[in-house]
Structure 1
């Protein structure tokens, strides 16, 4: 795991010290060594910060040159099947004289042998790559299938720049980009900035599964919008080399309907992925929340090693938010070497000022706080941690994957005006009454049920299609209007993929989450939170064999017995007693809503004051202040909506 950065100069030569200044901004991503390289013409510079995981010797140092002399690469990530690719090169007689045993050297040899697209297609892993081709005088950027590793690029006074995070680009002389309105709009609605946007105008994220080829002699001018796939423009060519929709469609065309066959296929694929991702020349552990996904990954990891694997979790003192007790019970059954840490509101308060630096871009998933804390805890003992992320997106783990399709199938039968009238009326009932009705049916799982029910009903009343309903459920500002001033409001809708329209609604929702929410929220959160403390995280669920298997498993096997992830649960039950993990989904939630009324109130009030909100002219001050007061007085739960504003404001202050 590492950090990369580089520059194609607009006019003057690239200086090695300019490249070093860029990589100095990402030292935590690679604290073990640094390297920079400038080509003979002085137009191109590549920089690297290394966190040594495989081949800890100088043989793994970057930037790395191919044996043929044509290619130079900086690489962030891990190629888990590098040994198989190395063998394939040797059997084909295309292997160079090996200098070491790093995956970077193997990847570079594969590129020299078969080309960059063929090499990344055969690579099973997570990566962000920058490759200089001296023959064609092109720079190619590449990102892994689901976006586990970040990669930004854009234009500034110095030229065309790229980096693992925004900080190296922002450090270049003359950088003065303003806030991108589209990015800010989606941040308010979704709590994250989705690819291809970044928070800055003219700076973009490379979408997952894509290559961007930049002609060095035509990279001086920034396009007016992000590059379009397959369309050459101003010396840029954006190529998609992996599309998850294709995998979903292929799986639907060749489904696994038999439960026993599905269980065996999943066990084989996930077990292989875990064993592959345990390979490292440094200590490896797991995140263990006690939920389905992390418990299954930890169980398979423990099964694969002879010594107790190290597992880590955190808990909270507030009632209803403590999952650490469940993690501890799972760890005892599995026999892991378990470490837990309890977090207080004071811990969160102390951490919040660091969040803008940790994430380097406004990011408003409040589980960023416990994720950073558990990464910090794990880093005391290990350098690599396996996580259970992506299980929800692949196997239907979010409540919305069931609830939204179920509700839509019922309400879609009603004429639009009647539907709106009935649902709007029900949405006006007090939260307490909805809580009482739920209690009478024995179904309430949260103190916020009444607030959530009201919001859900009013959201459904506005929806004229399933796509709009799905999108609306994710937008905490939908019912009150945008928190942005009229001058910066933009369309923030993401939507479902029309190519999957013939498949069950649940499948379309899972796909949408896998290509938007997963890379831009979940994977972003884990990468930034962990790399800030120099911890590499690995995601076995995103192994190509696992994702292909998941796509083939029929929806009925994912949503059996009235809940999502049924097939994952059945596999987990072969490792731990059902009673330990058979409980409502909790997520990695923290009591931030309560803290905003207590120990975080002064901090929030400062950022949400009229003067602070009005400073840049970006926000509707009155609307945000009204929602803030409603939250403080318990009239309406407003945590997520306000957290998006707070995280932007904190980032803006730096």
Structure 2
């Protein structure tokens, strides 16, 4: 696992400044502390920071073909590289190393841009072909590995594994994107392809970008999508057996490493399944790591210990105390843009714990999206049945009125909180799902934003992110449709971003077997009743795992990997929250209505309302403004409209 950077001259063949390229490269030292490498030629500079995992002796980058006309910097792992190496040798290719990086170079020589279709793994790479005068950027199918790029004011394109690489370049414009601000306060992250900066973009998952000097910067090209092609897996028992066989293979190919390897073990279904597969494939005890919380409502430690004992793992657990707030400011510099998922803190800690013992860790990420594990899928499916019975013209006035009249009862038992359900039933399918995943509702966002920011948005609404993906979706039923939306937005924008930055901060490589694209393709086509049945998500996986894991773990209520935000913001964080959100940084940004912020703080502090989600989002945005985009005299909104 590594960090990659580069500078490409769109206007010709100007020399790339060596000190500048070194600055961009060193900004990602945390991603690859073992080695660095750079290459410059007229019009091009490539930089690489290496975390050595495979081919420790000869896998240095940038890596070249035999005549040095092709160069690559690569971040990730190609799990089928040995198979590809054997195939390429039959075409006459000769290899100087045993690295998966060199396989990509020869695959490019053999298949050109179609080489990405042959790669099985997680990757982001930049490949320069001097003969074709072409710079080729690529990102893996699900978006496990990140890649940012932007056209700069000096006529160059810069790219890197993290935004901080682009921000290290003096010609990178710092203008905020008002649309990204709207997206952030709706989703809690900035979905692809936007970043918080107007001139920096995320290469979307499953896309490539081909750049040539003297030509305008083109749009990315999609090479893969989740198919959701229905297939008949045979009987339920046969489907369960096939699922386990496919999962075993996805785990097995991710256990190849020349460094210590382990796994995250949260006590949930997915991570426990991965550990069970690892234990069966390993002759030595598996290293496992978990985080526990003092609050029993958030603590899964007993289930993690149960799995560890069953499979004889070398288990390491660490308790996160209720006052573990020192990471709040660090998160802003970790993510380079506002990021409101509070589970980033325990994720950081479990990566920190794991890195003390291993260099590679397997995770259970991806199971909820592919096999309908989130509680919201069950609620959405039930609401869809009602939406199917009544046309929108009837539902809007009926349920819209009920939603307006019904009180918002954050304090009440869940079955009495009908306001959100009524509001969802008054909407169409995509808008209803947006309503269910939004951390700040439409009304609150309008109140929170300043008049100037609302004008700058020019009517833009964050639901358009989901609408764009819904129009392109191959899914044929309501459940598959929202799974597709999460695979395109929440998974890469939140889950994978969180894990990548938290792990790379500690130079830890994380591999996700449940995000193997061949496994994802197969799972996407399963009948919906094998994913969600009788209110039980991940139905088939849980049935398949019953011989391997106890029912108490498989069928307990999903807890998630979160922290007690509401209590924190009323208790030990209350004073800090007040200071930060009413600071000159927020007031001078020109983005917010400060009276609304004061009301949110007051209502949450007294316990009348639970505003933990909007307040945490604001706290993370303030930290971003203060640390990543310091504005001692500037107005952030003016910067956004520059």
Q: With structure 2 as the length reference, what TM-score do the two structures score?
A: 0.92
- 1:26 equivalent to 2:28? Answer yes
Measure how far apart 1:307 and its partner are. 0.9
Q: Out of 326-335 and 121-130, give the one that drifted further.
A: 326-335
- 1:56 equivalent to 2:56? Answer yes
Which residue in 1 is equivalent to 2:78?
79
Residue among 129, 132, 148 paired with 1:133: 129
Measure how far apart 1:125 and its partner are. 0.3
Alpha-carbon separation, structure 2, partners of 1:615 and 1:455: 35
Q: 1:217-236, aligned counterparts within 5 Å? A: 217-218=214-215, 234-236=216-218
Q: 1:457 to 1:267 in 2, by over 3 A?
A: closer
Which residue in 2 is equivalent to 1:420?
400
Alpha-carbon separation, structure 2, partners of 1:124 and 1:2: 18
Measure how far apart 1:192 and its partner are. 0.4
Which residue in 1 is equivalent to 2:65?
66
Q: Over residues 47-104 of structure 1, what are the superposed CA-to-partner deviations in whole Å (9 max), with x where a residue is unaligned?
A: 00000110001x21001111243211000000011011011112x23322x2221100
- 1:310 equivalent to 2:273? Answer no
Measure how far apart 1:400 and its partner are. 1.0
Which residue in 2 is equivalent to 1:269?
246
Measure how far apart 1:500 and its partner are. 4.6
Measure how far apart 1:360 and its partner are. 1.7
Alpha-carbon separation, structure 2, partners of 1:217 and 1:417: 56
Which residue in 2 is equivalent to 1:486?
451
What is the aligned length? 610
Which residue in 1 is equivalent to 2:262?
285
Measure how far apart 1:198 and its partner are. 0.7
Q: 1:71-470, aligned counterparts within 5 Å? A: 71-90=70-89, 92-96=90-94, 98-115=95-112, 117-158=113-154, 159-218=156-215, 234-244=216-226, 247-248=227-228, 250=229, 252=230, 254-256=231-233, 258-347=235-324, 349-410=325-386, 413-414=389-390, 415=394, 416-425=396-405, 427-428=406-407, 430-431=409-410, 434-435=412-413, 453-457=417-421, 459-460=423-424, 463-470=426-433
Q: Secondary structure at the match of 2:616?
A: helix
Alpha-carbon separation, structure 1, partners of 2:99 and 2:383: 51
- 1:45 equivalent to 2:45? Answer yes
Question: Do the aligned partners of 1:606 and 1:612 also contact (CA within 8 Å) in 2?
Answer: no
Alpha-carbon separation, structure 1, partners of 2:555 and 2:624: 39
Measure how far apart 1:571 and its partner are. 2.1
Measure how far apart 1:263 and its partner are. 0.8
Q: Out of 255-264 and 65-74, give the one that drifted further.
A: 255-264
Q: Over residues 600-637 of structure 1, what are the superposed CA-to-partner deviations in whole Å (9 max), with x where a residue is unaligned?
A: 12221122116442211011222222122211111111
Q: 1:103 to 1:561 in 2, by over 3 A?
A: same
Which residue in 2 is equivalent to 1:602?
575
Which residue in 1 is equivalent to 2:483?
510
Name stretches of at least 5 consecutive residues in structure 1 with no aligned partner.
Answer: 219-233, 436-443
Q: With structure 1 as the length reference, what TM-score do the two structures score?
A: 0.90
Residue among 540, 543, 547 paired with 1:570: 543
Which residue in 1 is equivalent to 2:6?
6
Q: Out of 209-218 and 500-509, give the one that drifted further.
A: 500-509
Alpha-carbon separation, structure 1, partners of 2:526 and 2:10: 50
Q: Over residues 239-298 of structure 1, what are the superposed CA-to-partner deviations in whole Å (9 max), with x where a residue is unaligned?
A: 111112xx11x2x2x233621121121111111010000000111110000001100011
Q: Over residues 454-502 of structure 1, what are the superposed CA-to-partner deviations in whole Å (9 max), with x where a residue is unaligned?
A: 55135326x4311111111112322424322233243211225235587
Question: Do the aligned partners of 1:128 and 1:141 also contact (CA within 8 Å) in 2?
Answer: yes
Question: Do the aligned partners of 1:459 and 1:473 also contact (CA within 8 Å) in 2?
Answer: no
Residue among 448, 452, 466 paired with 1:495: 466
Alpha-carbon separation, structure 1, partners of 2:234 and 2:379: 23
Q: Over residues 402-422 of structure 1, what are the superposed CA-to-partner deviations in whole Å (9 max), with x where a residue is unaligned?
A: 101202322554523122223
Q: 1:409 to 1:131 in 2, by over 3 A?
A: same
CA RMSD of aligned residues (A): 1.8
Alpha-carbon separation, structure 2, partners of 1:428 and 1:346: 33
Alpha-carbon separation, structure 1, partners of 2:36 and 2:524: 40
Q: Secondary structure at the match of 1:476?
A: coil
Q: Secondary structure at the match of 2:452?
A: coil
Measure how far apart 1:136 and its partner are. 1.7
Q: Secondary structure at the match of 1:255?
A: coil
